[in-house]
Structure 1
């Protein structure tokens, strides 16, 4: 890479281009792809010049010749449904997540041509770590090792940055020795990450890197801060709200009524769950008032579209979350152009990666890998418990 040029990246399974937004304007996107027409249209709407490098279609049908030059980074937010704890856990053999191997076929081809990306990031749900008893994660690590990459993983909950609980795993791989300053212990090496490392065979543990990222400053926003004005959104009518709130179990209902008796405005995130009660499954509405939304999902998956419960002046109201509110919870600016259909907008948002998380990884790992002698040193976080082995893989 020309050290005076901006770093170049490929963005696979790009969705609406949220990873690109996190990497920022100083990075140059040479190629991006997604097979979903709605996501592809949203990507083009928000990234001028995308027509020159965006490829709409199945990753399996992309040829190495379609990828220009040699990238400093390949970012892959591969489909997560088959890894999700809310799904059927089909693993890497599942129809959607097998798209990863379509991406990896291209990485292998680039390697054979001598133009493999210097770094790779694979982003997915936390279920990746345990899918099929850890065998899927091992398969991913083996694929990286076979192409000369050393690698490590971190688990970041977006709630550190935005008022949304959204834990994700980021596997970061490199072909070059990283500067020692970005290796060590940090809070993003969770118990799940450490257990996944421990399950790997010794030859893969020897390729492992313990990425060291600092914790961000305390978040100064909450769920209430991202909401639109009451007059600009559609509320449940009284009958709809009564039916909706009737799904709450006794403990949640009591909590809402207690808050209604207190002064001030309280905002709760509400989502439906199937709960076992007296040997039978019942749909229940659960509400959290800790200032954080639950994990946003595509409208057809998991808890589906999230709702809000607003308690104010002894009045309890409810409504669905809007697409703009969802976008803000993903770290997207209000200038980001969403599909006109709310369902389509939430489809794009629910499959995305939080922009602020990408920025943090870029600043504290990726740019320090690419520019090890020019990026300023940063303080690092710590964790108390970690595996004893700290093999660097180099």
Structure 2
């Protein structure tokens, strides 16, 4: 059975995506509240260590993992942040993560696979220098690597594009069908291609183009995941809904009017955003009715919490999205145990990685490579 380490583990969404066919040897997160959620879902077997990744010693990492995963913090790389990049306090923990990879290699325990996940802004952060630093770290650690942008909306009704960089140890052979001679859609976006083309020649020499098939067409819509009587949130009263509608620009108001005329129940996702209009900062409510929720974010403020707008003919209702609904948008089963506190639950889901995306990567990248490595060991 293949094994893995899960860093920046949150509530264990990577573990959920890998499934029962994988064994977790070690998990780590800095947030104690997320650690409680991890244990509530995966037990207290001792694999979880709560604490700063920068304080970890290689000696604390057991065994020889097949995969080492790190969804390191995005705040310094996000377009919504201050763009401090990999030199920032939070996103800079990537270096500590890769330092552990190097330490394992020195002991002859280098993972066969190393995967990191972050926002797509990583590709352009600091003029592409942060993406170059990530790729160089993989190359210098002895890994060939490839970058993919996968939008979770292919799997779940949530717009959530994320960058994945997946490295394979140089002595692990990849079957020819797993690699493409150049970029292929939909996962090698133009942004990935531009970032790859800008890499220095020595770093680009170890670049791979992972050939990952697209998933089957998604059937579920945003409306399918919405509850009439959710736990933990209440429907707004009419005055509150009217105030929300009043915050909409003429374009967004027109979207609501079109939904009223649709002749069917329409569910939209709303975010409050600050826009500059006539030189002044104005708060606006922006809605989408394309059967896909907006990207979940961590609830640092009221504007970052997604609001549901349900339009059924002349009747318009609104409320905050529930914690369970956010979990569904991440591909978590309804049996997944969420924190009781709303903000804690929203933070857990909004800061995670979509479960079916991990499963897709496991099926088409991780498991074939782990199987090839095992076959090679048996032949030797």
Compute the TM-score of the two structures, normalised by the length of structure 1: 0.91
Give SS of 2:290's match.
coil
Contact 2:230–2:322 at 8 Å: present in 1 too?
no
Within 5 A, what are the aligned runs for 1:161-200?
161-175=155-169, 176-184=172-180, 185-200=184-199
Equivalent in the alignment of 2:84: 90
- Note the C-alpha offset of 1:179: 1.3
Equivalent in the alignment of 1:41: 36
Q: Deviations over 1:136-195 (max 9, x none)?
A: 111111111111111010000000000000000000001123111100134201101101
Equivalent in the alignment of 2:311: 311
- Note the C-alpha offset of 1:61: 1.1
Equivalent in the alignment of 1:9: 4
Contact 2:76–2:83 at 8 Å: present in 1 too?
yes
Contact 2:6–2:70 at 8 Å: present in 1 too?
yes
Contact 2:265–2:311 at 8 Å: present in 1 too?
yes
- Once structures 1 and 2 are overlaid, which stretch shifts more, 233-242 or 360-369? 233-242
- Once structures 1 and 2 are overlaid, which stretch shifts more, 321-330 or 366-375? 366-375
Number of matched pairs: 369
- Once structures 1 and 2 are overlaid, which stretch shifts more, 299-308 or 314-323? 299-308
Equivalent in the alignment of 1:364: 364
Equivalent in the alignment of 2:131: 137
**Any gaps of 5 or more consecutive residues in structure 2?**
376-380
Contact 1:227–1:325 at 8 Å: present in 2 too?
yes
Contact 2:255–2:289 at 8 Å: present in 1 too?
no
**Residues in 2 aligned to 1:303 and 1:192: alpha-carbon distance in whole angstroms:** 28
**Residues in 2 aligned to 1:257 and 1:190: alpha-carbon distance in whole angstroms:** 34
Equivalent in the alignment of 1:30: 25
Deviating runs (4+, > 3 A) in structure 1?
230-233, 372-375
Judging changes above 3 Å, is the alpha-carbon distance between structure 1 residues 243 and 132 closer, same or farther for their aligned structure 2 residues? Answer: same
- Once structures 1 and 2 are overlaid, which stretch shifts more, 71-80 or 255-264? 255-264
Contact 2:85–2:91 at 8 Å: present in 1 too?
yes
Contact 1:86–1:302 at 8 Å: present in 2 too?
no
Q: Are 2:289 and 1:289 equivalent residues in the alignment? A: yes
**Residues in 1 aligned to 2:230 and 2:205: alpha-carbon distance in whole angstroms:** 58
Contact 1:297–1:303 at 8 Å: present in 2 too?
no
Match of 2:60 among 66, 70, 76: 66
Within 5 A, what are the aligned runs for 1:1-394?
6-48=1-43, 50-175=44-169, 176-184=172-180, 185-230=184-229, 233-300=233-300, 303-372=303-372
**Residues in 2 aligned to 1:369 and 1:200: alpha-carbon distance in whole angstroms:** 25
**Residues in 2 aligned to 1:157 and 1:186: alpha-carbon distance in whole angstroms:** 12
- Note the C-alpha offset of 1:251: 1.6
Compute the TM-score of the two structures, normalised by the length of structure 2: 0.94
Give SS of 1:252's match.
helix
- Note the C-alpha offset of 1:264: 2.1
**Residues in 1 aligned to 2:282 and 2:105: alpha-carbon distance in whole angstroms:** 52
Q: Deviations over 1:68-116 (max 9, x none)?
A: 1111100000001111111111100011011111212211111111111
Contact 1:296–1:326 at 8 Å: present in 2 too?
yes
Aligned Cα root-mean-square deviation (Å): 1.6
Judging changes above 3 Å, is the alpha-carbon distance between structure 1 residues 212 and 302 closer, same or farther for their aligned structure 2 residues? Answer: farther
**Residues in 2 aligned to 1:231 and 1:126: alpha-carbon distance in whole angstroms:** 32
Give SS of 1:352's match.
coil
Give SS of 1:371's match.
helix
Judging changes above 3 Å, is the alpha-carbon distance between structure 1 residues 182 and 303 closer, same or farther for their aligned structure 2 residues? Answer: farther
**Residues in 2 aligned to 1:24 and 1:301: alpha-carbon distance in whole angstroms:** 33
Contact 1:186–1:214 at 8 Å: present in 2 too?
no
Give SS of 1:365's match.
helix
Contact 1:186–1:212 at 8 Å: present in 2 too?
no
